[in-house]
Amino acid sequence: MAKLAFLGLGVMGYPMAGHLARKGHAVTVYNRTAAKADAWVAHYGGAMAATPAAAAQGADFVMACVGNDDDLRAVCLGEAGAFAGMETGAIFVDHTTVSAKVTRELAQQADALGLGFVDAPVSGGQAGAENGVLSVMCGGAEAHYAAAEPVIAAYAKICRRLGESGAGQMAKMCNQIAIAGLVQGLAESLHFAEKAGLSIPDLVEVISQGAAGSWQMANRAQTMAEGQFDFGFAVDWMRKDLGICLQTANETGASLPVTALVDQFYKDVQKMGGSRWDTSSLIARLRKLE
């Protein structure tokens, strides 16, 4: 078993760190709001630290799941940052969805300090984190990934290395691009069905068994029909992710017309007061347009 630090105990990080503790790893946690770290220790055992540097001291692996580029820099850098507390040869594993630019920047700084760095954003939402069945897409040196993969397995259904530093983040962008189009398509399908007077449960039972079937349909169609939008991954976070996708597309020359459109639809949901609704709330926008 390894000695680990986990930085960031939000809706994803809290259960992910818990899976590591349940696997027998010695886990020290850090969270910007200390009360959340206190609650985690009361639930899972282990220890908490006042700073990322303190949490990282003596750790074989430091895992992070925070909010955005700036949050990641804050927990990595400076006297109180994790890099300052890590020992040569330790590996930083970042589960945050951030830009490939900041990933490569921090990976270079880690390398200069004799540290490993693996970008490992996740997909599967709050339910995937709680049930330990996340999809994890990774970038970084092969040796660092090989060392980290058995630890990541505590909460992963599948974990794959896609290439060098930044490849994991680029793969996560692909994931979010695909989800944006899928959710909008599902929202329009259900909205159309409502207007046509069809039974949503009967419709979904039939079409989910054919080419239209998807995770989103299986897990969100009924709750979308019922107007329930409290399932973890918030619209605010999706817009943050899609902003990264669109900025990177501009840099690489990729064309993302549907993604750009759906991003604006999520902006409409925010204006409706749905910033904290989950991403399936696109159907609420269509209903408002009636």
Q: How far is it, in rounded angstroms, from Cα 25 to Cα 268? A: 44
Contacts by 243-247, CB closer than 8 A, 24 or more apart: 244/97, 244/98, 244/99, 244/169, 244/173, 245/173, 245/176, 245/177, 247/99
User: Active-site residues: which are they?
Assistant: 172
Q: How far is it, in rounded angstroms, from Cα 138 to Cα 121? A: 7
**Residue-wise DSSP of 232-252:** SSBHHHHHHHHHHHHHHHHHH
Q: How far is it, in rounded angstroms, from Cα 114 to Cα 52? A: 18
Q: Across-strand partners of 138?
A: 161
Q: Beta-carbon neighbour count of residue 101 at 10 Å?
A: 15
Q: How far is it, in rounded angstroms, from Cα 28 to Cα 152? A: 16
- Angle of helix 215-225 versus helix 167-196 axis, rounded to 10: 40
Contact 19, 77 (CB under 8 A): no
Angle made by CA atoms 120, 126, 130, in degrees to the nearest 5: 90
Closest by CA to 105, choosing from 173, 162, 165, 164, is 165
152-190 burial code (b ≥16 CB/10 A, e <16): bebbbeebebbeebbbbbbbbbebbbebbebbbbbbebb
